[in-house]
Amino acid sequence: MRIVMIGSGYVGLVSGACLADFGHQVVCVDKDAGKVARLKGGEIPIYEPGLDELVERNVAAGRLSFSTELAEPVEQADVVFIAVGTPARRGDGHADLSYVYAAAAEMAPSLRGFTVVVTKSTVPVGTGDEVERILREHNPDAEVAVASNPEFLREGAAIQDFKRPDRIVIGIEDDRARPVMEEVYRPLYLNHSPILFTGRRTSELIKYAANAFLAMKITFINEVADLCEQVGADVQQVARGIGLDNRIGSKFLHAGPGYGGSCFPKDTLALVKTAEDAGTPIRLVEATVAVNDTRKRAMGRKVIAACGGSVRGRKVAVLGLTFKPNTDDMRDAPSLAVIQALEDGGAQVCAFDPEGMAAARPLLPGTEFANSPYEAAKDAVALVIVTEWDAFRALDLQKLRGVMAGDVLVDLRNIYRPEAVTAAGFTYTGIGRAVQPIAEELSVAAE
């Protein structure tokens, strides 16, 4: 099939490359001429494992190309995907749909023959209705069906998620779109990936509801972690104990400094705003947003407390800047709030991240950056692990302790066993593990 992908950002580029790998003819269109030039030159503007090889292979095969021109590819297309950004709108938190609507208006005059226009961008309920209205306003004679096909890609595992999805959700209002979309995803039938056809508005809401539920799950275990610290329990064992219940499941029950990234923060906020506008506020999601925002800053205070209550004039090393491993995405990363709290407390922060430092530099003007974990830790009174990169899971703890001026290690992802860290001469602080003085008081009280 001939497919156009409007937008060559994270979702558009991954989706376009995967669809080309299925055998479709795909043109990724982007207004950013510099980005298109880099893509044509074989340079991938984002970090995603395996994406460079996937793009190279399909460009060489002639199935994937890049362009700044929209009209000609749309004229020839069977399907046009809209995969542009929908960031949170400044001031009110609603999703900014200006790029989606601009794409619809621009493509409309070029539509020829029956074409399915698909919103892959994450959009609020009713967006597809407006996209259809814009298309018909700009081209009343167009034979077009508008569908919703939300993405469920995890950064760092996006190619696997696209090719072996848990489900494919497609919302339609015109039955002519169904066989077209079935053909787009026909290669996945071999993997027995279920395709769920729904109404368009239902499809749009599924995406927001899924992300909000996962965000609530993360926030829930983070609050349980705080309780564990105070009552002498271990959050990792609590998470395992409840995660073995099939009704709950173990995923997204890893306590940490809070969620970030390109989806959960903006999508939960957009769902809250949509529900408010509909007169049916979602209090659970409202609380999730508030607790998560508060938690990130609280992690900075946790580090300061571990350092004896003050970091003024002292060096603190931070390992991990991106919101999760295997990406260079700094959007709403917990590290930003943690570092800001440390710098507000007077600390000099030195950070290292395997992939995220280029994106982090303009966001953290007061932060130093190192070339390795050990360089970051040199002369630091404390070492803080914020992102659980594999490269940080087997550090030479003795070497780290040898180059540091202090002995504090704060593990905000619980990737180390406390006994291993203390054996190397560190004072260990994790997430959701007992605060010893409180545990002792409880023990005495029990006696």
Amino acid letter for position 423: A
Contact 205, 125 (CB under 8 A): yes
Give the span between the Cα atoms of 225 and 408, in whole angstroms.
Answer: 20
Q: At what angle do helices 200-231 and 127-138 cross, to 10 degrees?
A: 150
> What are φ and ψ of residue 145, in 5° steps?
-125, 135
Contact 327, 48 (CB under 8 A): yes
Contact 135, 142 (CB under 8 A): yes
- Return the HEC string of 22-42: CCCEEEEECCCHHHHHHHHCC
Among candidate residues 28, 263, 307, 350, the one labeled active-site is 263
Sheet holding 25-29, edge to edge: 64-67, 25-29, 2-6, 79-82, 115-119, 144-148, 168-171, 195-198
Q: Pull the structure tokens for residue 327.
A: 């990406």
Mode of pairing for the β-strands spanning 64-67 and 79-82: unpaired
Give the span between the Cα atoms of 299 and 258, in whole angstroms.
Answer: 9
User: Catalytic: 18?
Assistant: no
Where in the sequence numbering do the catalytic residues fall?
263
